[in-house]
Amino acid sequence: MRDFDEHNITAAVIERFAGTPDARLKQLMTSLVRHLHDFVRDVEPTFEEWLQAVMFLTRTGQISDARRQEFILLSDTLGVSMLVDAINHRLPAGATETTVLGPFHVEGSPEVANGADISAGVAGEVLFAEGTVKAADGTPLPGALVQVWQSDAEGFYDLQKPELDGMALRGQLRTDAGAKFWFRTITPAAYPIPYDGPVGDMLTATARHPWRPAHVHFMISAPGYETLVTHVFVAGDKYLDSDAVFGVKNSLIREFEARSAGAMPDGVVAEGPWRYLKYDFGLKPLTA
Amino acid sequence: MRDFDEHNITAAVIERFAGTPDARLKQLMTSLVRHLHDFVRDVEPTFEEWLQAVMFLTRTGQISDARRQEFILLSDTLGVSMLVDAINHRLPAGATETTVLGPFHVEGSPEVANGADISAGVAGEVLFAEGTVKAADGTPLPGALVQVWQSDAEGFYDLQKPELDGMALRGQLRTDAGAKFWFRTITPAAYPIPYDGPVGDMLTATARHPWRPAHVHFMISAPGYETLVTHVFVAGDKYLDSDAVFGVKNSLIREFEARSAGAMPDGVVAEGPWRYLKYDFGLKPLTA
């Protein structure tokens, strides 16, 4: 094949992938070429625009390192991460909706008992959180592993607070015999995604803000069920309708209810005002 | 907007770009999101595949530097560069077809007189090249600037030969009063694009080769005309039908004719066998 023009080049490039040994890779490359060429034909970039795109992608790779993944941020801010999440989580009734993992999950957070305080002394408004973990069909799941992580009252994660000695505002606990979990922490705050790189430049150029509404992350796993990765968002947050990474779902929003000093649900007495969060999770069974 | 699912998230993301101040950027982002989401819905990537794509793009950025641009190579090998080229060069009859600039052009190559030898002593089969530069309508263009660059007989450019002292196998000359140019050089050879990075990994995984058929690059400019960037390919090269960057067009292929010792077109006598190339170029007028 020679003499490619703007119309026949797509078929020619796809034909070049015809010999790909792996059938899935062949499918991916074929679809990529078709959609990428359709995009180019649609917008008809000038050479200067094409080179700007090349340099944007180059900078996005070059700013990434072991602590920062700018291409994931790009995927997040273009709604691709949540689209991939949705495609991979077609849920039965009763299963909790999912959202992006985000960049702040870490393996090996402290194992704590129910009722523990995971704030590790970080200042903030006391939050008592509790809930249950069940299968989508309502079967209680005692012994389920509940990992939780969140920002502090100013929107920073422990990873972003070099003054901290070790982890804070994260932990893992297990549901009790009644499939319940409960812990103490502080109320999280809204925060901006990192915006000092190419993705931040894109947000600025398109008059978008980098903020995420306040939330607590949960990752919940039990044998025989798909691991659930989700957030619970604070009702009333001003960024719920404009989350920079499109992670909000109505079913994941809860009141973090204001309570006065007095006994909390496990009998421990709060000396001042505190907030109360309750969320019952439903897990999707693994399909064979 | 909340409660994004795999169907409505695309409209939600596009809506987020509605306030983009620059109309062209808004058009680009809107189309990008639409086509990117269509691609994701088409192939339904797993999380692992999505992360592999993220890491591939990251490596593509990170291997790029002042001397290597892997995203351009990726664009070239996916046929995008030639598609952009085609869109930007819708040509009138009589205009020479265009092809990719490639990574080996440099500014400030030696200015030489017609008849000069640009091989700078690099060994190879003698080539005498000549031609004319005219407007697409046939108007001769004396004084047009003809930049030429090419590989050596083993497929390497001067930039890839650190043992060379300065430039070789490149130069710029001007058409004479009759709109003619002519020079001496050596016959170029086929060569592989750099394949020790992510793009090479992609080619290997898809059973594609990295070779480009032998060619001489031309960049030709004259006041009032679009600058022409093209190659002339050597007829008979075994990679003409499988150029790794999709740059071949039939109208750009010429015999590099074998000749015996004796007088060359400008009267200079060749002591041994040599090759002869003739190509007449047509330039597209600038539109107001």
In contact, A254 and A277? CB cutoff 8 Å: yes
Supply the pLDDT for residue A161: 87
| Same structural domain, A249 and A129 | yes
| A87 and A220 inside one domain | yes
Q: Say if the Cβ atoms of A13 and B47 lie within 8 Å.
A: no
- Domain membership of residue B3 (yes or no) is no
ipTM of the predicted assembly exceeds 0.85:
yes
- The pLDDT tens digits of the residues spanning A170-182 come to 999 999 999 999 9
Report yes or no on B257 lying in a domain.
yes
Task: Provide the pLDDT for residue B5.
Answer: 87
Condensed to tens digits (0 to 9), the pLDDT of residues A26-56 reads 999 999 999 999 999 999 999 999 999 999 9
Structural domain span for residue A170: 81-283
Provide the token pair at A144. Answer: 């389920």
Chain B residues within 8 A of A22 when measuring between CB atoms: 205
For residues B261-280, one letter each, b for 16 or more C-beta atoms within 10 angstroms of the residue's C-beta and e for the rest, the string is eeebeeeeebeeebbbbbbe
Model pLDDT, residue B86 = 93
> Is B17 exposed, middle or buried (CB count within 10 Å of its CB: 0-12, 13-18, 19+)?
buried
Interface mutation target, options B22, B27, B39, B227, chain A, most CBs of A under 10 Å: B39
pLDDT above 90: residue A222: yes
- Per-residue pLDDT band for A288 (boundaries 50, 70, 90) equals low
Reported pTM: 0.91
* Shared domain check, A102 and A244: yes
CATH code of residue A115: 2.60.130.10
Between A221-235, B95-109, B204-218, B240-254, the lowest mean confidence (pLDDT) is in B95-109
Which residues of B fall within a CB distance of 8 Å from A36?
Answer: 35, 39, 78, 80
Q: Does B249 contact A75 at a Cβ distance shorter than 8 Å?
A: no
Phi, psi of A61 (to 5 degrees): -70, -40
Whether residues A198 and A120 share a domain: the answer is yes
Identify the CA nearest to A283 among candidates A150, A83, A132. A132
Is residue B13 within 8 A of residue A204, CB to CB? The reply is: no
The structure tokens listed for B80 are 């995008």
Interval A207-212 mean pLDDT: 97
* Residues of A with Cβ-Cβ distance to B208 under 8 angstroms: 16-17, 19
Q: Please, how many CA atoms are within 13 Å of residue B272, restricted to the half-sphere of its CB?
A: 4
Q: Where does the pLDDT of residue A221 fall: very low under 50, low under 70, confident under 90, or very high at 90 and above?
A: very high
**Average of pLDDT values for A181-210?**
97
Nearest-CB residue to B43 (from A28, A81, A246):
A28
| A9/B246 touch (CB, cutoff 8 Å), yes or no | yes
- Measured between beta carbons, which residues in chain A are less than 8 angstroms from residue B5? 86
**Within this chain, do residues B248 and B198 fall inside the same structural domain, yes or no?**
yes
B57 lies in the same domain as B98: no
Q: How many C-beta atoms surround the C-beta of residue B288 within 10 A?
A: 3
Residues in B touching A61 (Cβ below 8 Å): 57-62, 64
> Does residue B201 share a domain with residue B149?
yes
Same structural domain, B143 and B266: yes
Residue-averaged pLDDT of chain A? 95
With 60 as the cut, is the pLDDT of residue A287 above it?
Answer: yes
pLDDT of B243 higher than 90: yes
CB A152 within 8 Å of CB A117: no
Among the candidates B80, B102, B126, a domain finishes at B80
Alpha helices (H) along chain B: 9-16, 23-43, 47-62, 70-77, 80-88, 198-205
- Which of B30, B53, B80 is the endpoint of a domain? B80
Residue A196 shares a structural domain with residue A271? yes
Q: Which of B80, B110, B129 is the last residue of a domain?
A: B80
Distance CA A29, CA B208 (A): 12
Task: Give the model's pLDDT for residue B198.
Answer: 98
Q: How far apart are CA A250 and CA A254, in angstroms?
A: 9
Q: Would residue B213 count as lying in a domain?
A: yes
Tell me the pLDDT tens digit for each residue of A73-92: 999 999 999 999 999 988 99
pLDDT over 70 (residue A1): no
> Looking at the domain assignment, is residue B114 inside a domain?
yes
Q: A4: pLDDT confidence band, cut at 50, 70 and 90?
A: confident
Cross-chain residue pair A71–B54, CB shorter than 8 Å: yes
Given pLDDT bands bounded at 50, 70 and 90, which one contains residue B288?
Answer: low
A249 & A154 share domain: yes
Q: Which of A2, A82, A253 lies closest to B248 in CB terms?
A: A2
Q: Which residue matches tokens 């090349």?
A: A54
Does residue B288 belong to any structural domain of this protein? no
Tell me, yes or no, whether A248 lies in a domain.
Answer: yes
pLDDT at B6 over 80: yes
Q: Give the C-alpha separation, A210 to A70, whole Å.
A: 13
In this structure, are B74 and B140 located in the same domain?
Answer: no
**From the CA of A167, how many Å to the nearest CA of chain B?**
26
DSSP per residue over B172-199, as a string? EEE--TTSEEEEEEE----EEPP-SSHH
Q: What is the mean pLDDT of residues B156-160?
A: 90
Confidence band for A58, pLDDT divided at 50, 70 and 90: very high
Angle between helices B80-88 and A47-62 (to 10 degrees): 150
How many domains would you assign to chain B?
2
Give me chain B's average pLDDT, please. Answer: 95
pLDDT of residue A102: 84
Query: Is B121 domain-assigned?
Result: yes
Burial A147-185 (b: 16+ CB within 10 A, else e): bbbbbbbeebbbbeeeebeebbbbbbbbbeeebebbbbb
Are the C-beta atoms of B72 and A72 separated by less than 8 Å?
no
Average pLDDT over residues A122-143: 97
Token pair of B273, please? Answer: 């066998």
Same domain? B120 vs B262 = yes
Residues contacting B211, CB < 8 A, separation 6+:
B190, B191, B192, B193, B239, B242, B243, B244
